[in-house]
């Protein structure tokens, strides 16, 4: 029997969760969000998501180290990118965004786990910078399921035919028309906006599931949402013309961003204290950009900016080593 002995390093037992399990659970938890997207934006929403996923996954497959598709992270990137795009966006743009996000948000950094910026948001920020008009053109919610919104099938490099009927997002309306959307519509998601951002409650449910399974750290979203609520409530108090906390919480990409994007393990702090700081920073930035910034929405930029701070936050929030009290540092 000696021949067939297995020799591994200690510890010889391991907890159940593995990285792919975590990732695929996140994918699973996004299914309801995708369903909601289909409900609100019909086939157009699904097509945009699909295009983004294809872009991300294909790039990971052809440029990646190989065999890394199985860990599921590329799929998440594609999904979340797709969910953060407007329903009528030409598919080639969505696809390009996915490819860009994976290539320059992940692969050049060394692949899974090495990147500092959230790949999906790198992809989205690129799209927003490259095609600002297309990505801020919002087809109205609802309509028949099979209706093709916007100019989905525009050819690459060709300016999409601007859709006659476009709506505006609650944030756009607020910033540029000074008109606030009904809270009920915000909560039920019956508003213009990105494919997956409008179904706030579904997103929260998915987040709750992941938090319960400990696949995402609840501190990050909680501290983001609390901060946004607190800060905007304060500002609303000082100047009632400013939107109130509930509007802030349920409009724009905040929910999706706070629950699924700020919580990306790789690009958020590793210490719990750090996660509180991270969330606080995002919350403040979101409110500041939404109220005083030029852009109507700032979730993406807030997260990207705080991503850049993560290495610094990690440094600053290292726990005190056991027994190093009394400044007796071991070396």
Ligand X SMILES: Cc1cc2nc3c(=O)[nH]c(=O)nc-3n(C[C@H](O)[C@H](O)[C@H](O)CO)c2cc1C
Ligand Y SMILES: Cc1cc2nc3c(=O)[nH]c(=O)nc-3n(C[C@H](O)[C@H](O)[C@H](O)COP(=O)(O)O)c2cc1C
- Judged by beta carbon distances under 5 to 8 A according to partner kind, the member of ligand Y, another protein, ligand X, none in contact with residue 107 is another protein
- b/e sequence 105-136, b meaning 16+ C-beta within 10 Å: bbbeeebbeebebbbbbbbbbbbbeebeebbb
Q: Which does 197 bind (CB under 5 to 8 A by kind): ligand Y, ligand X, another protein, none?
A: ligand Y
Q: How far is the CB of 99 from another protein (least distance, A)?
A: 14
Q: Degrees (nearest 5) of the Cα angle 146, 149, 153?
A: 95
Closest CA to 68 of 36, 34, 11, 115: 115
Which residues are within 8 A (CB) of 315 and not within 5 positions of it... i.e. 6 or more apart? none
C-alpha to C-alpha distance for 84 and 124, rounded to whole angstroms: 8
By CB under 8 A, residue 17 contacts another protein: yes
Q: Kindly indicate which of the ranges 21-29, 38-46, 87-95, 292-300 contains the residues binding ligand Y, using the contact rule CB under 6 A.
A: 292-300
- In the complex, the smallest distance separating the C-beta of residue 123 from ligand Y, rounded to whole angstroms, is 12
Q: How far is the CB of 278 from another protein (least distance, A)?
A: 12
Partner from another protein, ligand X, ligand Y, none contacting 162, C-beta within 5 to 8 A by type: another protein
Q: Which residue is nearest to ligand Y (CB)?
A: 253
CA 206, 209, 215, 219: dihedral to nearest 10 degrees? 80
171 near ligand Y, rule: CB under 6 A: yes
| Least distance from ligand Y to the Cβ atom of residue 112, Å | 21
Tell me how far apart the alpha carbons of residues 80 and 138 are, in angstroms, rounded to a whole number. Answer: 18
The item of ligand X, another protein, ligand Y, none sharing an interface with residue 26, based on CB under 5 to 8 Å by kind, is ligand X
Determine, following the binding rule CB under 8 A, whether residue 5 of this chain makes contact with another protein: yes
Q: How far is the CB of 316 from ligand Y (least distance, A)?
A: 25
Given candidates 164, 184, 238, 330, which one binds another protein under the rule CB under 8 A? 330
Tokens of 218: 């609840």
């Amino acid at each position: 029997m000696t021949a067939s002995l297995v020799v591994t390093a200690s510890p010889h037992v391991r907890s159940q969760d593995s990285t792919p399990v975590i990732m695929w659970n996140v994918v699973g938890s996004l299914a309801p969000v995708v369903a909601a997207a289909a409900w609100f934006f019909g086939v157009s929403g699904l097509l945009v998501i699909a295009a983004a996923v294809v872009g991300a996954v294909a790039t990971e497959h052809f440029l990646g180290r190989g065999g890394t598709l199985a860990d599921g992270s590329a799929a998440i990137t594609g999904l979340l990118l797709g969910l953060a795009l407007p329903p009528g966006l030409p598919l080639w743009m969505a696809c390009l965004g996915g490819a860009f996000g994976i290539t320059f948000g992940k692969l050049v950094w060394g692949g899974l786990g090495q990147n500092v910026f959230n790949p999906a948001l790198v992809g989205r920020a690129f799209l927003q910078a490259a095609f600002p008009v297309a990505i801020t053109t919002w087809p109205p919610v609802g309509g028949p399921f099979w209706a093709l919104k916007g100019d989905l099938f525009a050819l690459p490099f060709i300016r999409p035919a601007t859709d006659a009927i476009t709506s505006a997002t609650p944030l756009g309306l607020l910033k540029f028309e000074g008109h606030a959307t009904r809270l009920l519509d915000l909560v039920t998601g019956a508003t213009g906006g990105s494919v997956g951002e409008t179904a706030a409650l579904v997103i929260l449910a998915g987040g709750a599931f992941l938090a319960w399974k400990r696949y995402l750290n609840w501190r990050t979203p909680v501290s983001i949402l609390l901060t946004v609520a607190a800060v905007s409530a304060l500002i609303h108090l000082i100047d009632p013309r400013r939107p109130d906390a509930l509007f802030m919480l349920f409009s724009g990409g905040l929910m999706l961003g706070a629950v699924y994007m700020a919580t990306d393990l790789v690009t958020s702090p590793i210490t719990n204290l750090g996660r509180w700081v991270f969330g606080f920073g995002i919350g403040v930035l979101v409110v500041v950009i939404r109220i005083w910034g030029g852009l109507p929405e700032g979730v993406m930029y807030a997260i990207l900016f705080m991503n850049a701070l993560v290495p610094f936050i990690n440094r600053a929030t290292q726990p005190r080593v056991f027994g190093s009290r009394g400044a007796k540092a071991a070396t």
